[in-house]
Structure 1
Amino acid sequence: MAGRVARAPRAAGLRRLASQSKAAAEAAEQELNWDEFFRLRKQRRLWERLAALPCAMLGLGAGSAVFATLPVNPQQTFMGIDPLVLFGGSALFCGMLGFVAGPSVGRVWYRVASNKDVARMLDRKEAEFFTHVRANRSDPSFSSARNPLPDFYGEKINSLSAYRRWLRKQREHERKGTFKLGTKK
């Protein structure tokens, strides 16, 4: 009996040590590296783009169903516009509204389909990424017709090399905006 009592604290200590090492391993796994972040970001954008088409079709179908049931008097116009043209345009507007709302629906679908921890890590890394973008982007007051602002929000950045390219473009934009064109006189 005394042997069992002596082992119990040791076993509890081993379990505690194992749980601490497991927690440390999970914390290391939860740190998302930049390559993985860009891969997940590209995957989320694909979901957003693919959701736009079904949402547009759903909006067009719902708008068509609603406006097809309304009574039409062809001899009466609405602000000088034929009611059939107005109802058709309204149904198309519902489709466009669905297309615009589609990426938001796609983002929600992605969050539901993916692991919650991965979605949280992606959100944290995205906030860190936009902090980097905000700190390194060029001043928009340097923009002109001959010197347009390159990718203000960094939306086209999809890899580390693209980020470095974006940094070079920002520095070039700032250099041109301050009239340091590097020409020899």
Structure 2
Amino acid sequence: MLFGAFANTTSHSLVRFSRATILGAAQRPLHTTRTLLQKTDPNLNWDEFFKLRRQRRLWERLAALPCALLGLGAGAAVFASLPVNPQQTFMGLDPLIVFGGATMFCGVLGFVVGPSVGRVWYRIGNSELARSLDAKEAAFFKHVKANRSDPNFSSASNPLPDFYGEKINSLEGYRRWLRKQREHERKGTFKLGGKKK
């Protein structure tokens, strides 16, 4: 009898506790945990890092063309407005050749500056991801620096492959890069145990 009353009280208190827990959980927004995790853990895994890195490079390459056209157009506008005297030469060259060369140089300069402009656009459009990408890229370059072969082993027949790891676009690419570095070391120290690719 006494045991039955105790069991009844315990079950009622458990039901009240579980009801309060469920109601409290229902009142809290479901996305808070996810957003807190995103704020407290900005680190990316390696697959996401390489994907974002490829995306940033695409932005850089796409920005090069409009910047080149802008530079070419600006150079053409400036040099076309200058007066040309056909009887006067510039360093022994015809002024039209000089102005044409300067216009082409403006286009090339725009093409060179374009990737930097694309990187800035990417950082503005994805500020949170850009910070995480920078942190992961610093860690990636530490791995590259620690695992690359000694440049002193390089020669005309044994060049150092991809010193900064710029061609690495995936984890599989990183493993290939590591194999090439080990092969470069073996060739440099006359231990030709690796297979040539």
Q: Normalization by structure 2: what TM-score?
A: 0.79
Q: For structure 2, list consecutive stretches of 5 or more residues without a partner in the other structure.
A: 1-23
Distance 2:104 2:35 in 1: 53
Instruction: Give the Å deviation of 1:109.
Output: 0.7
Q: Which amino acid is the alignment partner of residue 172 of structure 1?
A: E
Partner of 2:43: 31
Distance 2:59 2:39 in 1: 27
Structure 1 segments, 4+ long, off by >4 Å, are 21-24
Q: Whose Rg is larger?
A: 2
Instruction: Give the Å deviation of 1:93.
Output: 0.2
Moved more, 28-37 or 60-69: 28-37
Distance 2:40 2:185 in 1: 38
Identity %: 74
Alpha-carbon deviations, 1:114-151, whole Å to 9, x = none? 2x221100000001001100111111111111101100
1:81 counterpart = 2:93: yes
Q: For structure 1, list consecutive stretches of 5 or more residues without a partner in the other structure.
A: 1-10
Q: Which amino acid is the alignment partner of residue 142 of structure 2?
A: T
Distance 2:159 2:57 in 1: 26
Partner of 2:193: 182
Going from structure 1 to structure 2, the CA distance change for 1:106 and 1:22 (only over 3 Å counts) comes to: closer
Distance 2:64 2:180 in 1: 31
SS at match of 2:84: coil
Instruction: Give the Å deviation of 1:110.
Output: 0.7
When the two structures are aligned, how many residues end up with a matched partner?
Answer: 167
Moved more, 22-31 or 94-103: 22-31
Alpha-carbon deviations, 1:88-119, whole Å to 9, x = none? 000000000000000000001111112x2211
Partner of 1:49: 61
Q: Which amino acid is the alignment partner of residue 141 of structure 1?
A: N
Distance 1:37 1:148 in 2: 28
